[in-house]
């Protein structure tokens, strides 16, 4: 954990002189330094110390950007040229921000896997709560699937690799961590892509640690993003790690179709892509399915396998969904995908109604709290000072 808290000073000081309302991401192209006056803490110790802090406390001395950079140069030369992204948590109540921060640090600080975004450090003080991540040059998957014609640029073989990488990351959280980690918010916006378009699962603000021998997880309110959330999260059913499997299945449908499961750009659209896909699969009309989705004939085998896996993942009953390690093997073709059952038989009303609407109705009717890390915004780049230009420091506001 020696890398934890590496960039806290830089993060805090840059933010103080350039306050921006909303979620802020700093991208530092020339890396960061471990300053001798900042002592790296273990995750457990950091969380324990944070909870002891009085509300008005400050753990860092405010400095200007110029002072920070001068201090960096006096300490050590910039090393490794590692770009980083800094996520500043703003826009909610203090309690929610603190809960999101502790969720991310307590989960990501305990993990290390190729398909998970790496947490380099963090800052927690009265004026700033921020997380320092590795920077993903190709952004989030949703930007490539849903915006303009970017989705067509990524071939289906690469999309399969992205799906496998995402499944590998979730499998690690569920089955390989000392304590199982349930993410609760698997969706395209939380899958980041590096320079090789390798998938990295990110945003653990809703994640929760649980013991492996626990049969279910205690919930205090709804979590996740409507449209990806499993049925048991908005009904009085026990909740397990299989809710992430369901969300991955919904993500897989969007990878296959290179479109959102509900086309929000069409007025009064009630066509739900997963049910439409099931109808085509059940009627053996995959050729028509592929034509509509713009899929070439050479990709038929891959798409059929991905569709079958998606149907297995979104089964209504959690116990009928596969483990994520099995999902990885099925996607890779290492094991045969079993013939899926119809996952939508429980939708007894108009079968074309999106389940995300049903989810909203269920939560609103029950008076429960819905939590989501979803941010529907457009990024803009803020011009910086000559010093920022020199050190390739860019501020991106969401």
Measured between alpha carbons, how far is 166 from 355 in angstroms, rounded to an integer? Answer: 23
Same domain, 29 and 106: yes
Clarify whether residues 105 and 146 are in a common domain: no
Residue predicted with more confidence, 72 or 198? 198
Pairwise CA distance, residues 266 & 263, whole Å: 6
Are 130 and 179 members of one domain?
A: no
Residue 176 is assigned to a structural domain of this protein: yes
Co-location of 278 and 330 in the same domain = yes
Domain presence at residue 1 = no
CA 153 to chain centroid: 22
CATH number of the domain that 16 lies in?
A: 3.30.200.20
Does residue 2 sit within a domain? no
Positive or negative: CA dihedral 15, 108, 312, 151: positive
Residues 355 and 380 occupy one common structural domain: no
Secondary structure (3-state) at 119:
strand
Note down the domain range covering 17: 8-135+376-397
63 lies in the same domain as 202 = no
Cα 168 from chain centroid (whole Å): 14
pLDDT at 51 over 70: no
Whether 73 and 153 map to the same domain: the answer is no
User: Do 70 and 185 share a domain, yes or no?
Assistant: no
Structure tokens at 288: 């028509």
* 226 lies in the same domain as 316: yes
pLDDT (tens digit per residue) in 117-165: 988 777 777 777 777 888 899 999 999 998 766 555 788 899 999 999 9
Q: Does residue 3 lie in a domain region? A: no
In a domain? residue 119: yes
Looking at the 3D structure of the chain, how many domains does it have? 2
Q: What percent of the chain is modeled with pLDDT above 70? A: 58
Nearest-angstrom CA–CA distance, 386 and 13? 17
pLDDT tens readout for residues 280-337: 999 999 999 999 998 999 999 999 999 999 999 999 999 999 999 999 999 999 999 9
| Residues 259 and 113 occupy one common structural domain | no
Q: Is 244 an active-site residue? A: no
Task: Select the more confidently predicted residue: 264 or 361.
Answer: 264
Query: Best-predicted range by mean pLDDT among 32-46, 232-246, 280-294, 379-393?
Result: 280-294
- DSSP type of residue 317: S
CATH number of the CATH domain containing 173:
1.10.510.10
Which of 185, 203, 213, 263 is an active site residue?
185
126 and 146 share one domain: no
**Does 324 fall in a domain?**
yes
Q: Is the whole model's pTM more than 0.85, yes or no?
A: no
Q: Which residue has the higher pLDDT, 383 or 160?
A: 160
In a domain, 58, yes or no: yes
User: Are 160 and 263 within one domain?
Assistant: yes
Going 268 to 273 to 279 to 285, the CA torsion angle's sign is: positive
Residue 336 lies in a domain: yes
């Amino acid at each position: 954990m020696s890398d934890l808290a590496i960039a806290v000073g830089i993060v805090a000081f840059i933010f103080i002189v350039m306050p921006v309302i909303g979620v802020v991401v700093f991208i530092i192209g020339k890396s960061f330094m471990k300053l001798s006056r900042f002592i790296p803490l273990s995750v457990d110790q950091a969380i324990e110390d944070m909870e002891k802090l009085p509300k008005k406390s400050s753990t860092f001395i405010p400095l200007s950007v110029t002072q920070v950079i001068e201090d960096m140069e006096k300490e050590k030369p910039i090393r490794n040229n590692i770009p980083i992204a800094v996520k500043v948590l703003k826009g909610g109540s203090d309690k929610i921000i603190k809960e999101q921060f502790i969720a991310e640090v307590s989960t990501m600080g305990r993990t290390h896997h190729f398909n998970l975004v790496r947490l380099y450090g963090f800052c927690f003080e009265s004026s700033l709560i921020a997380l320092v991540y590795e920077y993903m040059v190709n952004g989030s998957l949703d930007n490539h699937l849903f915006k303009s014609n970017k989705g067509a640029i990524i071939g289906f073989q690469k999309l399969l690799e992205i799906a496998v990488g995402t499944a590998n990351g979730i499998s690690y959280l569920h089955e390989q961590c000392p304590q199982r980690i349930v993410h609760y918010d698997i969706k395209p916006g939380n899958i980041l892509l590096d320079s090789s378009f390798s998938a990295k699962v990110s945003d653990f603000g809703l994640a929760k640690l649980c013991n492996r021998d626990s049969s279910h997880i205690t919930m205090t309110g709804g979590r996740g993003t409507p449209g990806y959330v499993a049925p048991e999260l908005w009904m009085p059913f026990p909740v397990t790690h299989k809710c992430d499997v369901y969300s991955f299945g919904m993500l897989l449908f969007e990878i296959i179709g290179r479109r959102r499961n509900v086309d929000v750009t069409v007025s009064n659209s009630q066509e739900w892509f997963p049910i439409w896909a099931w109808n085509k699969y059940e009627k053996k009309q995959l050729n028509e399915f592929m034509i509509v989705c713009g899929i070439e004939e050479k990709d038929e085998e891959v798409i059929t396998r991905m569709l079958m896996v998606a149907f297995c993942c979104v089964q209504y009953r959690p116990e009928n969904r596969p483990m994520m390690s099995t999902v990885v093997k099925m996607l890779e073709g290492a094991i045969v995908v079993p013939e899926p059952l119809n996952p939508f038989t429980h939708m007894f009303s108009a079968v074309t109604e999106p389940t995300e609407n049903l989810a909203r109705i269920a939560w609103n009717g029950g008076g429960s709290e819905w939590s989501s890390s979803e941010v529907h915004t457009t990024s803009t780049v803020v011009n910086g000072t000559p010093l920022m230009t020199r050190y390739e420091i860019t501020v991106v506001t969401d």
